[in-house]
Chains A and B, each alone.
Chain A
């Protein structure tokens, strides 16, 4: 549960893996300037509370020159990306996020990692999500995306508009 940031390299770029609960115990290490572009993997982030939001904002504000590319954004973090304006750093992109599905037939919750620009397509103010239901659950099942798509992905529209204006 305790929060860690592991620093590795991926495709020649610094690659940070965030893991655990982002809360009052979370210690964000100081890496110094990270360079022009950094990939941040959020798949292992379990939760974030109000103090964690503050720590996140302080840490990312210190890295103003870096473009952050977020991968594997879990629901708990996406919720804050929508609720807290400025949660995403000024220079950021979202590469992929966890999309929650529910299959009523199997009474099963299923998470799938979808990529922006591949399964998640931003078209102006709208966002389309493309998926093959047969690939999500068992054959013959019709799992549904368990979100209000327009509102859940609202932050992506804002981010796209922000990046286009920059």
Chain B
């Protein structure tokens, strides 16, 4: 896993598979990145100047990336902004969880990303807590910064997340529109949460090792307005292990 392929070369030759590859393209649109990830089980799409050697390093060390994603994605200088981490369980109260995040996000340094991080935290908490198999299993939610970027992640030690379901719901929103993609007759999720998170970010990573861990991670430039980030291309990493 982890060989670098240039998308324009692949599209010209249409030879081989992108599975397990780092796919490098310029101006890869958000919907296209999702389409590539759906048709190839595990791959990383990097665009708009993202360091492909970093993507390669992540693909070769997924367990270490899950353990400490900031070590890979963030610079040393946090600009004095502290990080946040909160453990939670299936039975944890979402209101208490979100209150902690709201307090943390009061910093002016987060003013342009505050509402989006709050939404991401809400969606990740709901999805991880709902899909947790046991009351005793811990999940960890975190926010970390460097001087330019804020990174938000949620991980568990269960490894039951299916990246394909997330990607398909994102793809549906791009293809049909958000309103048409909403599961109106469901008492469960609305089916658009993953799209909302992906839209407001400039990078998303879904890492799953069945029976071991799952992580959903998003990152974005802290100084970019919401409405600009929605229009930006996304780097998308999907690394799905085969389990034991």
**CB nearest to A147 among chain B residues:** B225
Mark each residue of chain A from 53 to 81: 1 if its CB lies under 8 Å from any CB of chain B, else 0: 11001100000000000000001100100
Return the 4 tightest CB-CB contacts between A and B, nearest first: A151-B227, A50-B193, A54-B190, A86-B179
Q: Are B123 and A50 in contact (CB under 8 A)?
A: yes
CB distance B122 to A23 under 8 Å? Answer: yes
Interface residues of B in 212-244 (CB under 8 A from A): 225-228, 230-231
Nearest CB in chain A to that of B118: its residue? A47
Which A118-151 residues have a C-beta within 8 angstroms of B? 146-148, 151
Interface positions, chain B 199-214, Cβ under 8 Å from A, are 199
A51 partner residues in chain B, CB cutoff 8 A: 126, 189-190
Query: Which positions 93-140 of chain B face chain A at CB distance < 8 Å?
Result: 95, 98, 108, 111-112, 115-116, 118-119, 122-123, 126
7 further A-B contacts with Cβ under 8 Å, apart from A57-B182, A147-B225, are A49-B126, A51-B190, A54-B192, A57-B184, A76-B119, A79-B116, A83-B199
Q: Which residues of B contact A100 (CB under 8 A)?
A: 111
21 A-B pairs, CB-CB below 8 angstroms?
A1-B98, A47-B115, A50-B196, A51-B126, A51-B190, A54-B190, A57-B184, A76-B119, A79-B115, A79-B227, A82-B230, A83-B196, A83-B230, A85-B178, A85-B179, A86-B177, A107-B108, A109-B108, A146-B225, A151-B225, A151-B230
Q: How many residues of B contact A (CB 8 A)?
A: 31
Query: Quick check: A151 and B112 within 8 Å, CB to CB?
Result: no
Q: Across the interface, do B228 and A53 meet the contact criterion of CB distance under 8 Å?
A: no
Q: How far is the CA of A148 from the CA of B227 in the complex (A)?
A: 7
Please indicate the chain A residues that have their CB under 8 angstroms from the CB of B111 in the complex: 100, 102, 109, 146
> How close is A26's CB to chain B, nearest CB, in angstroms?
12
Are B178 and A1 in touch, CB under 8 angstroms?
A: no
B92 vs chain A, min Cβ distance (A) = 15
- A24 proximity list for chain B (CB < 8 A): 126
Q: B226 near A79 (CB under 8 angstroms)?
A: yes
Given contacts A58-B184, A83-B178, contact A49 B231 (CB under 8 A): no
Query: Contact string, A72-106, partner B, CB cutoff 8 A, digits 1/0?
Result: 00011001001111110000000000001010000
Beta-carbon contact of A148 and B228 below 8 Å: yes
Within 8 A of B (CB), among A23-60: 23-24, 47, 49-51, 53-54, 57-58
